[in-house]
Structure 1
Amino acid sequence: MKETQKKSLLKIVTTASVMTLSASLLAACGNGSDKDAASSPSATASVSASPATNASTAAPTLSSDKHYDITFGSIDVDKALAEADKDAMLQQVQKAVNITLKPQGFSADSVNEKVKLWAASGQLPDLLTYELTNGPTASQWIQQGLVREIPEKLYSKYPNLNKLMNSPEVQATKVNGKFYGLPRLSKFSPDEWALDRGYVVRKDWMDKLGIKTPKTFDEYLAMFKAFAEKDPDGNAKNDTIGLTTNFLDVLTTTIKLGSAVPNLGGWMQEDGKWMYSWASKGMGDYVTKYRKLYAEGALDKDFALLKVGEGGDKFAQGMVGALNIQISEGSLKGLKDKWDKFPHDKPMEDSIAILPGWTAPDNNLYRFYGGSFFNINYVNTSVDDAKLDAILRLNEYNLSEKGKELFNYGIEGTDFKKENNQIVPLQKIAYKSTGAFFYLNGVSLGINGSKDVRKLNIPAKFVDMSSQMYDDLLKNAKPIPINFAVEGINSPLKAKVGTLKWGEALIKVVLGKDDPVKMWQEQIAQFDQKVINDAITEVNDIAAKQGIK
């Protein structure tokens, strides 16, 4: 949970709701993150020496005759760089680009307080990992001139960085046509979010009850109810749960995939204009399905009270038939770690299946989709072009094949060796500085990386299971409809409408007794309608001016 607590305080650039944002953060950290699981190979296998499948042009010469000290602020970076003189990974990176990273750290609990104090006192570090470009604090910094522009004439020299900056979702972060930060990459492409929403189900229970793989909402509902009502564990007690969740926001944004608002929390086209999805007509279908799951006993009666991870605990103890969670191999590995603490007839990998969810009313199967980066690294306005260039060289190194190799396998000759174009791990890598590089585009192999590497620390069945699901989703499921340009519109009213308590209103409707559609309309009628209507008008006006369709 330590890494989860860190990331839960950072805002990321995806195009879903605030709830989706926090869910996405948790999706990639804590128990079973793909990064954590795949980046520490054991010494038991060999893999191809060129594992990355999203290779860009090889990095140019990144060294410089002039050395720069760069102050870097991120969560616990002072701890990550505490043993700089002993950290060979850190030394290799610093030597490659001729810099020294000077930590300016803060704890997860003090991030907002400390960063705002630095800003007010003129003590922002040269480079700072903080919120998204169109977040309220960063927008204020831009207006006040506290953070500087990242000009194309500098970043375009570096092919990997230039490719990232020109991706649609990063282009959407521009403010008045300019970049005021460097995206901190977490995925190689938006498609890699596909496994961030789904269900882990007890396949052995499905077989026992004669349940075929569900496709529609009604089929999923029937399966969840059977898990809750038909004694699948055979103990002659009414003590099983049909469906629960590992994180409430993940459930809320998984149900959306099979509803009339698959981009819940984002902006969608409705009646020829851009509409905030929470206020759209499609919410009627969404709240009806959510209520039905709860009212008919398919959904854990305590779903709204669960703390993060408690649903996984229930599943691991054999109490639950279906767990809503990320269905990546790393997430499965984290769940298995819990499962193995309790007695079971079979290993988890032989007891489960993973499912994507049901088709939407338009008969399409949708998959989760979002920006390829979490948050933004800002550069202090006091940094001149020469020092900024050193920062850009650091980013380019981290995105290069050499950087990927370092972050995934460690140092050649110490942590791995190459034999016949194969990487042979020698030991598990354990450098404290990885905690700093994580916030500087230290991206692991991901779902498109070598299966052999991923299987070093994750059960092979999980790797194969997730890989097959990923391939199936990319082939058969549509990404949720996102317009990165609209999502990236920077306006006060757009930001304000996102802060209304939509999630609280939703839970009241799900737990209620009256007609869910009518209750939803009554709930949102309590919000400031002027804020909602003015935000919709403003977004459409800006979109029209910018030629966004």
Structure 2
Amino acid sequence: MKSTRKWTAGVSCMVALSVLAGCAGNEAQPTTTPGAAGTGASGKPLEIKFFAGLYNEVPDMNNAFWTEWQKRTNTKLDMEWIPDGDLNTKLDLLLASADLPEVLAAPSAVRPTLLNAVRSGAFWDLTPFLGDMSQYPNLKNNLGKDALKYLTVDGKIYAVPRSRSRIDPGIKIRKDWLDKLNIPVPTTLDEYAAALKKIVEGDPDGNGKKDTLGLIGNEIIVKDADPSFAAGFGALDPTFDAEGGMIESRLTPQYADAVLFYKKLYDDGILSKEFAVMKKSQAEELYKTGRAASYGRSVWWDNEWETAIKKVQPEGKILNLHLKGPKGDAIELQTGVSGGYYISKKVPEAKVKELLKYFDQTASTELTDLGYYGIEGVHHTVVDGQKVLNDLGIKEVNTTSKGAGVLAYSKWGKVESASGSKAYNDAKKKEVEIFDEVGKVNPFNYTLSNTWNSTWPKYENEWKANVTKAIVGQITIDEYKAYVEKINNTPEMKKAYKEFAESYKAFNAK
């Protein structure tokens, strides 16, 4: 089993936009297709070479979980796991090299380099294979709303989805520290900032030092939580210029308001000083070791992180906040589709059909249950009707273990902790259930523009640098706004925004 690829030096790639996920999806009515999907004419296991994201430790493909997965699907998986922090860079290099695996698991369906590869014929058009979906009952019945629509380019379906729940990221805060310092649970972004200021100026961990971090930033501001904060300022609302073009969310006036908010957090010592250069793994470690009050990541990490925090701070408790901003709720929803599985055009047509049968089986309730909980008695036990992972389950059944199959859509899939008790998960679902009602999605996770794909890479790094400069005070907010306005008024961007508007209208008209 390979864990990395030897990349050829000098391969060029386009530095491209990593777009945030989001949009509507409904919980599907599941069906199950029993039996092994991967049996070819020879009766031997179907061998599949994958490129996929690694979100935990590199798994042993001969462990109990992966042995059972491959047994049930009658497959032999050759997984090339790429660490999450390097995934987009490696993906761009891979697409530029044209040395594609049989199946590529892409975390975003609108990444420019991926779209360019799709349009250049690198992947199979799955539309004629899928037909009326009658041969693929699980893909037909178990996906979120519009799942295949999100994977459509120029009217053709090029992937099957990586199903994930709409409720996913949360802006977290240490509830035990709020209680210790007698701070009410914040309900607005202003109250949130005030609460964090009291925490960083206090001594919530009782170590006698005022060294607690407020909001951990990483990889350009706060990465996973950035769209949620932006939503509170209206940046996820469709915004149109004078010519009717739809302005990309990060280049809207509302997003500039979010940058100003980040600047205030930075000036008050709330946003971590290293926000622009800190890696996700470093940020996660800081939060797990009780160094920081707030962080933004998927809700389902809470139980694991609370367990880690309690090793050093026994009262540790994480709460996901419902905050209101000046122009909306600071909550981002996902689409129910976190990218997709793309089949290389180098794969013979006969094998494409076998791969689709495999993916259909992985969208069954049977395989989805395995992906979330593993094997009963081996990875989990049932307590009060709730499957609870044991130590082996926590090690083997995780985000990475969901990286080789479609899975059925699950409303609470990124909320429930597989290692948490029924009481814990019921409370966590109640904590965030309103997210599905008031949260917003970023329309640029499903709208397309060829002009944007070729133009934005010229500005992206410069834009990131200017965001950082505005936050740390090297340029004023007015100077930042003038910089953005200059970009927005270029002929290329105006054309891109027109294309986004047309794509948005077409998507919502179907």
Would you say the 8 A contact 1:104–1:125 is kept in 2?
Answer: no
Identify the match of residue 260 of structure 1 among 190, 210, 234. 234
- Verify the 8 A CA contact 1:59 1:397 in the aligned structure 2: yes
Tell me the amino acid that sits aligned with residue 198 of structure 2.
Answer: A
**Correspondence 1:197 to 2:167:** no
Match for 2:481: what amino acid? Answer: Q
User: Structure 2 counterpart of 1:170, which letter?
Assistant: L
Partner of 2:304: 333
Question: Which residue in the other structure is 1:12 paired with?
Answer: none
Which one of the candidate residues 488, 502, 513 is aligned to 2:447?
488
Partner of 1:286: 258
Shift in Å, 1:510:
0.8
Which of residues 362, 366, 377 is equivalent to 2:341? 377
Matches within 5 A, 1:82-101: 83=62, 88-95=67-74, 100-101=75-76
Could you say what secondary structure the match of 2:247 adopts? strand
Q: Which moved more, 1:423-432 or 1:305-314?
A: 423-432
Q: Does 1:57 align with 2:34?
A: no
Equivalence for 1:149: 125
Range with bigger deviation, 486-495 or 288-297: 486-495
> 2:399 and 2:344 mapped to 1: Cα distance?
22
Equivalent in the alignment of 1:537: 498
Is the Cα–Cα contact under 8 Å of residues 255 and 290 in structure 1 kept in the other structure? no
Q: Which moved more, 1:395-404 or 1:130-139?
A: 130-139
Paired residue secondary structure (1:326): strand
**1:375 counterpart SS class:** strand
Query: Structure 1's 3 and 233: CA in aligned 2 closer, same or farther, altered over 3 A?
Result: farther
Mark the CA change 1:522 to 1:326 in structure 2 (over 3 Å): closer, same or farther.
same
The superposition leaves residues 206-233 of structure 1 with CA deviations (integer Å, 9 ceiling, x where unpaired) of: 3343322222232222212212234445
1 CA distance for matches of 2:122 and 2:154? Answer: 16
Q: Which residue of structure 1 lines up, in the alignment, with residue 178 of structure 2?
A: 206
> Which secondary structure does the structure 2 equivalent of 1:101 belong to?
strand
Residue equivalent to 1:474:
436
> Shift of residue 509 of structure 1?
0.5
- Which deviates more from structure 2 when the two are superposed, residues 388-397 or residues 107-116? 107-116
- Relative to structure 1, the CA distance from residue 128 to residue 206 in structure 2 (aligned partners, 3 Å threshold; closer, same or farther) is closer
1:20 Cα deviation after fit: 4.0
Q: C-alpha separation between the residues in 2 aligned to 1:435 and 1:353?
A: 20
| C-alpha spacing 1:311/1:489, structure 2 compared with 1 (3 Å) | closer
Aligned with 1:403: secondary structure?
A: helix
Q: Which protein is bigger by CA-based radius of gyration?
A: 1
Q: CA deviation at 1:378?
A: 1.9
> How far apart in 2 are the matches of 1:126 and 1:232?
51
**1:72 is aligned to 2:49:** yes
Query: Which residue does the alignment assign to 1:360?
Result: 325
Specify which of 213, 216, 239 is matched with residue 244 of structure 1.
Answer: 216
Cα distance in 1, alignment partners of residues 196 and 296 from structure 2:
15
Structure 2: any 5+ residue segments left out of the alignment? 6-16
TM-score by length of 2: 0.75
Distance in 2 between residues matched to 1:4 and 1:312, nearest whole Å: 23
Q: How far 1:512 sits from its partner (Å)?
A: 0.8
Please tell me the residue identity of whatever aligns with 1:487: Y
Q: Do the aligned residues in 1 keep the contact of 2:162 with 2:337 (CA within 8 Å)?
A: yes
Identical columns (%): 20
In 2, Cα distance between equivalents of 1:335 and 1:421: 23
What's the offset of the Cα at 1:500?
A: 1.9
Deviations 1:134-172 (A, max 9, x none): 444444444443322112327442222124678325303
Render the CA deviation track for 1:49-92: whole Å, top value 9, x for unaligned. xxxx8541333776567247443222499x86865999641452
Amino acid at match of 1:356: L
Tell me if the contact between 2:200 and 2:213 (Cα under 8 Å) persists in the aligned partners: yes
Secondary structure of the corresponding residue to residue 197 of structure 1? strand
In 2 relative to 1, CA 173–164 (structure 1 residues): closer, same or farther, beyond 3 Å?
A: farther
Cα shift at 1:467? 1.9
Aligned residue number for residue 522 of structure 1: 482
Deviation at 1:255, TM superposition (A): 2.3
Q: Check conservation: 2:213, 2:270, Cα contact below 8 A.
A: yes
- The range that moved more, 244-253 or 82-91, is 82-91
Question: SS of the residue aligned with 1:377?
Answer: strand
Indicate the SS of the match to 2:338: strand
SS at match of 1:74: strand
**Shift of the alpha carbon at 1:312?**
4.7
Partner-residue secondary structure (3-state), 1:520: helix
**Closer/same/farther in 2, CA of residues 512 and 332 from structure 1, 3 Å limit:** farther
| Change in CA separation of 1:530 and 1:218 when aligned onto 2, cut-off 3 Å | same
Q: 1:441 aligns with which of 383, 396, 405?
A: 405
Residue from 465, 469, 473 that aligns with 1:504: 465
Q: For the residues of structure 1 that align with 2:120 and 2:401, how far apart are their CA atoms?
A: 29
Which position in structure 1 is the counterpart of 2:155? 177
Equivalent in the alignment of 1:50: none
For the 8 Å contact 1:246–1:323, the answer to whether it is kept is: no
Q: Distance in 2 between matches of 1:156 and 1:81?
A: 36
- 1:347 corresponds to: 315
Matched residues in 2 for 1:260 and 1:450: separation? 24
For 1:361, give the aligned amino acid: P
- Partners in 1 of 2:178 and 2:384 — Cα distance? 46
What SS does the corresponding residue of 1:198 show, helix, strand or coil? strand
Q: 1:394 Cα deviation (Å)?
A: 0.8
Contact 1:416-1:425 within 8 A present in 2 as well: yes
- Structure 1 residues 466, 76: CA separation in 2 closer, same or farther (over 3 Å shift)? closer
Unaligned runs of 5+ in 1: 6-16, 25-52
Task: For CA contacts below 8 A with separation 6 or more, give which structure has more relative contact order.
Answer: 1
1:245·1:311 contact (CA, 8 Å) conserved in 2?
yes
Give the secondary-structure state (helix, strand or coil) at the position aligned to 2:162: strand
Q: C-alpha distance in 2, partners of 1:367/1:4? A: 35
Distance 1:82 1:117, change over 3 A: farther
Residues 305-357 of structure 1: CA distance to partner in whole angstroms, max 9, x if unpaired? 4333444544555554x2122262424413532551x3x3x332xxx341425
Instruction: Kindly provide the amino acid, as one letter, of the partner of residue 198 in structure 1.
Output: I
Aligned pair in 2 of structure 1 residues 433, 534: CA closer, same or farther (>3 Å)?
Answer: same
Residues 177-219 of structure 1 show CA distances to partners (whole Å, capped at 9, x for unaligned) of: 111222222x1x42x32xx121222x34433433222222322
